[in-house]
Structure 1
Amino acid sequence: MNERKFETYLAAGKSIGGDYFAGYQFGLHQFTNKAPAPDLPPNPNCNEWESGYLDGIAGNPPIGFHGNIGNLNAAGVLPADSVLTIRLNSQLKSCYVKQAQREGLKLSAWVLKQLNAASD
C-alpha cells in the first residue's frame, strides 16, 4: 500500500471516528508495518474496535467506503480546486484509458501521473 492510499484510508476511517477508527488505525499501521500510534491502545473487548482492527489489518478500506474513495483521493496534499478540460480523438482517448487500466488507475489519475512526471 502506497503512502497516499494509506493516508486516504486513514482520513476515511477518521470520518467514522470512535472505537472503530481507533481499531482501524491500529490495524492499518500493523498492515503497513508502521508502528502503531502510541495513543491507540488495543481494546479487544469492544466490538467496534475489533471490527475496525480487522478491516485495517487486512488492508481493506474502512467500513462504508470502497477502494476508490473518490474526493478524499482526489484532494491529495492540496485541494483539487481546478478543472482541466481537453478535446482529443476518441481513438487516442481509448488508448489512454487502456494504458491507465493496465496500470490500475482511472484515466484522470493516470493523466495527472503523466503530467507530474513531465513537469519534474
Structure 2
Amino acid sequence: MREVLLMLAAGVVLLLGMALLALSQERHRDRIFISNRPAALDIRAQRATAFIATGLGLPACIASQGASFGSLLWLLLLSAAALAVALTLTWRPQWLRPLAGAARIVFQRPSASTSRS
C-alpha cells in the first residue's frame, strides 16, 4: 500500500511540475491568459516550482521501488505527465489555469498590507 501511495504522489507531483513548466512558456501563457498575464516574478516562481516538483518525484519513486526501477519509473511517469499536459493544452487549456496560482502559494511575496514599518 505504501508503494502505491508513493507512486501516486510522484505522478501527481510530476503532473503539477509539467503543467507549471508549460504555463511558464510564453506561447502557452498567451493561450490561457488572454487579458490577465502573470508578472515576470510569477513566471520565475512557476519555473522554480516546476523544477522542484519534478525533482521531488524522483525520491518518491526511489523510495517506492528502489534505485534501479525507481529511476526508470520516474522517467516513465515524467513522460506520461508531459503527454497528459500536452493533450490538456491541446483540447482543454483552461483546465490548467488554476494551477498557475500554485507557484504563488510556494513563493508568496509579503503584501504591503501585512508588513508594517
Which structure is higher in helix share? Answer: 2
TM-score by length of 2: 0.29
Q: TM-score, normalised by structure 1?
A: 0.28
Structure of larger gyration radius = 1
